[in-house]
């Protein structure tokens, strides 16, 4: 147990060390958001895409032909006209849905709030009690990107078309004068229209019209359709630069900032989206310069693209009527641009994610329509699986139970998913997540009990036998004080004769089997949306105090046993939202656990070794609760419960061990028709060790004889 806890503590330390990154020095110029022309690499990519899509349907935004198109004269947008500043789709009154607010002049999303997810646990309980709540009590999932410039700030709504590449010339669709005119239809569809004009200043004519339609919500998802029409009398070539899902709000109760940008790729010839193509943390993306995060390899396409935080996701995916799980008509490049907020707040590192379509050729009077679907809701695998209407999309794979950093490789997704599935089953039986965590602890301890029992017995056996041979060990150390090699040989002989098996010193080694369980459970409990705003033990502490006591009011947040702060307090690496009691209780339990589970000293350690063991024990008692001081109370509840049961289990095993005869190896269990010795017994280990030492001594003696013969051989002239 100690070894497993220490391993997890080291992993936590590495996570904190790897977590800090510097902020960008200043905002990136707006000119760097998108290229004014395609690079050679992108041109070659699009050329390959031309060949791949030569037989594609003309109703998609396929790559443009290679025919040259004359540049337009002074292309710009025609000012939009709007009677309303914003429009909305969805409602906060319906359960399991969202309300999306669209800026009428900018043609994109400026706010998304969820109907039955709330900012604070008290808001959730008030809503369940039927109280009227203000709009800002509903969880704010995403908002527009505020892009700072040297003298001003522009607002870039998410999912908006902010720029065109028209006949090779950039046409920005943002500025002091709105570019879009927006209306709402009878069926609830909100459509924003932008018109591009070109020609001399005194005789501009319409060249292109873009309609961006946002359809009504169906649960947590809605469709976005884009129609492009050539209004001129000559062919045009156009590509769209879009603000993709960029970054969501940071979680107020975060222990670590787990905002990421994720995407899945559909490889050539495959029908199933692979989910590991892009998985980048916001910190790493915000700490560098503008980068092209993805350009298509031959035949590969983006299946879905999502910005996630701890519990929620804003994702682009193919429309329901798509022929394959691909956004090939929407995304041919993904660019990430770090930006710095002007307010200099705690969330001053931000990113802007933009995508570009392949250029498409439109003949005079021709139009093209494409669409994609947007998910704006919780990272719930069952709901995401149901929303994946296109076969092979696997949108549920964007849910990743990983803390990132040092222990990403050892967070087994299958194990985390298995533990959470079992935890959900327990919750269905007992009706409370805290009780489900307690029963999960009991289950894990029962499964590991044979390993714990055997390891403690082996450690006790080794300690007792070492205590018996200590006088002889002391005598050997005095006799061969100047001959380390001979001392080692004699000690090995003594161990073999007295039946001392040094492998029993590694009795704690099997407990490392718990480490993957701990890390997987750590990530699962921290990132599972099912734990969000769930009070422990049926909200008993809140019911007794009229919701005045915040203790265990939210299993995804700190326990707040003594106080809850109105504003988070940053102390070194820790973001505190209250004064917590469970981590302090954890330290006390770890101290008792060390006292009852640490094997007695063998008497063979040097004073320096004994002092080092004491230091390591105290480091474990102090540092582990310190690192978990701001951890979710569901996780600390698991560890406190597991450690408490571990102390009781250890005391029970000690009583059994005291009644055993540890001086005699158990008889091997017969296996097979001839009654041969079984495997796995302590006696088998001792005999195996003896045989290994005998082979080692024979090989050593043979090498020594060979060396003597070589030394006696006369030198050659």
User: Which of 52-66, 375-389, 687-701 has the highest average model confidence (pLDDT)?
Assistant: 375-389
Is it the case that residue 500 has pLDDT exceeding 80? Answer: no
Helices (H) then strands (E): counts for the chain = 14, 25
- Give the pLDDT score at 150: 77
d(CA 273, CA 95): 30
Q: What is the 3-state secondary structure (H, E, C) of 214-276?
A: ECCCECCEEEEEEEEEECCCCCEEEEEEEECCCCCCCCCCCCCCCCEEEEEEECCCCCCCEEE
* φ/ψ of residue 677, rounded to 5: -60, 140
- Give the pLDDT score at 401: 87
d(CA 553, CA 326): 42
Domains of the chain with bracketed CATH = 33-60+79-360+368-400 (2.70.98), 424-658 (no CATH)
- Give the pLDDT score at 21: 36
Mean pLDDT of the chain: 79
| Banded pLDDT at 713 (limits 50, 70, 90) | low
3-class state of residue 444 by DSSP = helix
Which percentage of the chain shows pLDDT scores above 70? 75
Judge whether 404 and 258 are in contact, CB under 8 Å. Answer: yes
d(CA 384, CA 394): 8
Q: Which of 505, 573, 281, 269 is nearest to 392 (CA)?
A: 269
d(CA 132, CA 135): 10
Rounded to two decimals, the pTM is 0.78
| Banded pLDDT at 245 (limits 50, 70, 90) | very high
- Give the pLDDT score at 465: 76
| Banded pLDDT at 478 (limits 50, 70, 90) | confident
- Give the pLDDT score at 707: 65
d(CA 274, CA 278): 10
d(CA 217, CA 113): 12
d(CA 357, CA 52): 15
Report the pLDDT averaged over residues 426-445: 93
Which percentage of the chain shows pLDDT scores above 90? 35
pLDDT tens string 314-361: 999 999 999 899 999 999 999 999 887 655 555 667 889 999 998 899
How far from the centroid of its chain's Cα atoms is residue 518's Cα? Answer: 16
- Give the pLDDT score at 220: 94
In sequence order, the 6+-apart residues with CB closer than 8 A to the CB of 361 are 64, 65, 67, 69, 235, 236, 237
In sign, the C-alpha dihedral spanning 20, 26, 30, 31 is: negative
3-class state of residue 661 by DSSP = coil
Tokens 């005391």, located at residue:
651
Report the pLDDT averaged over residues 449-476: 79
pLDDT tens string 82-115: 999 999 999 999 888 999 999 999 999 999 999 9
Judge whether 519 and 11 are in contact, CB under 8 Å. Answer: yes
Judge whether 262 and 278 are in contact, CB under 8 Å. Answer: yes
3-class state of residue 186 by DSSP = coil
Tokens 């055997």, located at residue:
454
d(CA 315, CA 375): 5
Torsion region of 127: left, alpha or beta (phi above 0 gives left; psi -120 to 50 gives alpha) = alpha
Looking at residue 184, what DSSP letter applies?
A: E
- Give the pLDDT score at 47: 34
d(CA 633, CA 623): 17
Report the pLDDT averaged over residues 112-128: 91
| Banded pLDDT at 29 (limits 50, 70, 90) | very low
- Give the pLDDT score at 15: 41
d(CA 155, CA 174): 8
Looking at residue 75, what DSSP letter applies?
A: -
């Amino acid at each position: 147990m100690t070894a497993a806890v220490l391993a997890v503590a080291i992993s936590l330390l590495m996570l904190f060390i790897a977590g800090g990154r510097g902020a960008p020095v200043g905002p990136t110029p707006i000119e760097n958001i998108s290229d004014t022309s395609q690079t050679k690499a992108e041109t070659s990519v699009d050329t390959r895409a031309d060949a791949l899509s030569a037989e594609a349907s003309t109703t998609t935004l396929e790559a443009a032909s290679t025919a040259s198109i004359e540049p337009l004269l002074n292309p710009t947008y025609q000012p939009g006209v709007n009677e309303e500043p914003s429009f909305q789709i969805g409602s906060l009154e319906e359960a399991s849905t969202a309300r999306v607010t669209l800026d009428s002049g900018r043609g994109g999303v400026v706010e998304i709030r969820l109907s039955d997810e709330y900012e604070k646990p008290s808001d959730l309980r008030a809503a369940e009690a039927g109280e009227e709540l203000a709009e800002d009590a509903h969880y704010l999932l995403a908002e527009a990107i505020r892009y700072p410039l040297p003298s001003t700030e522009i607002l870039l709504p998410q999912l908006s078309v902010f720029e065109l590449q028209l006949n090779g010339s950039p046409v920005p669709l943002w500025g002091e004068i709105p570019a879009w005119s927006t209306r709402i239809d009878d069926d609830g569809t909100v459509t924003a229209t932008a018109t591009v004009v070109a020609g001399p200043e005194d005789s501009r004519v319409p060249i292109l019209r873009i309609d961006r339609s946002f359809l009504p919500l169906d649960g947590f998802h809605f469709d976005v359709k884009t129609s492009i029409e050539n209004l001129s009398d000559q062919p045009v070539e156009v590509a769209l630069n879009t603000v993709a899902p960029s970054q969501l709000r940071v979680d107020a109760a975060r222990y670590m900032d787990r905002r990421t940008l994720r995407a899945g790729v559909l490889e050539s010839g495959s029908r199933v989206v692979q989910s590991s193509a892009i998985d980048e943390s916001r910190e790493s993306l915000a700490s560098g310069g503008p980068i092209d995060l993805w350009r298509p390899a031959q035949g590969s396409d983006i299946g879905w693209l999502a910005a996630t935080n701890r519990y929620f996701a804003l994702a682009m995916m193919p429309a329901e009527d798509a022929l394959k799980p691909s956004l090939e008509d929407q995304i041919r490049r993904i660019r990430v641009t770090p930006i710095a907020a002007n307010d200099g707040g705690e969330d001053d590192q931000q990113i802007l994610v933009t995508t570009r379509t392949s250029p498409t050729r439109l003949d005079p009077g021709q139009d093209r329509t494409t669409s994609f679907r947007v998910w704006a809701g919780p990272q719930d695998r069952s709901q995401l699986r149901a929303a994946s209407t296109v076969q092979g999309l696997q949108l549920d794979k964007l849910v990743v139970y990983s803390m990132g950093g040092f222990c990403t490789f050892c967070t087994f997704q299958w194990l985390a998913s298995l533990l959470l599935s079992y935890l959900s089953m327990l919750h269905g039986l007992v009706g409370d997540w805290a009780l489900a965590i307690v029963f999960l602890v009991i289950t894990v301890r029962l499964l590991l009990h044979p390993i714990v029992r055997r390891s403690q017995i082996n450690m006790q056996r080794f300690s007792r036998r070492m205590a018996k041979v200590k006088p002889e060990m002391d005598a050997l150390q005095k006799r061969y004080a100047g001959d380390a090699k001979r001392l080692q040989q004699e000690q090995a002989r003594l161990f073999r004769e007295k039946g001392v098996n040094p492998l029993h010193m590694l009795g704690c080694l099997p407990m490392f089997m718990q480490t993957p369980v701990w890390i997987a459970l750590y990530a699962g409990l921290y990132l599972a949306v099912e734990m969000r705003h769930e009070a422990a033990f049926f909200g008993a502490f809140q019911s007794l105090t009229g919701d005045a006591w915040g203790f265990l009011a939210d299993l995804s947040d700190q326990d707040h046993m003594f106080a809850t702060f109105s504003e988070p307090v940053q102390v070194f690496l820790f973001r505190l939202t209250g004064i917590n009691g469970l981590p302090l209780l954890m330290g006390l339990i770890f101290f008792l656990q060390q006292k009852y589970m640490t094997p007695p000293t063998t008497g063979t350690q040097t004073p320096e070794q004994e002092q080092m063991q004491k230091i390591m024990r105290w480091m474990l008692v102090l540092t582990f609760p310190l690192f978990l001081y701001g951890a979710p109370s569901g996780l600390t509840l698991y560890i406190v419960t597991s450690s408490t049961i571990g102390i009781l289990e250890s005391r029970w095993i000690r009583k059994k061990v005291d009644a055993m005869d540890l001086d005699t190896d158990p008889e091997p269990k017969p296996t097979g028709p001839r009654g041969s010795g079984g495997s796995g017994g302590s006696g088998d280990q001792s005999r195996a060790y003896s045989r290994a030492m005998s082979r080692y001594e024979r090989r050593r003696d043979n090498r020594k004889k060979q060396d003597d013969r070589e030394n006696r051989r006369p030198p050659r002239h």
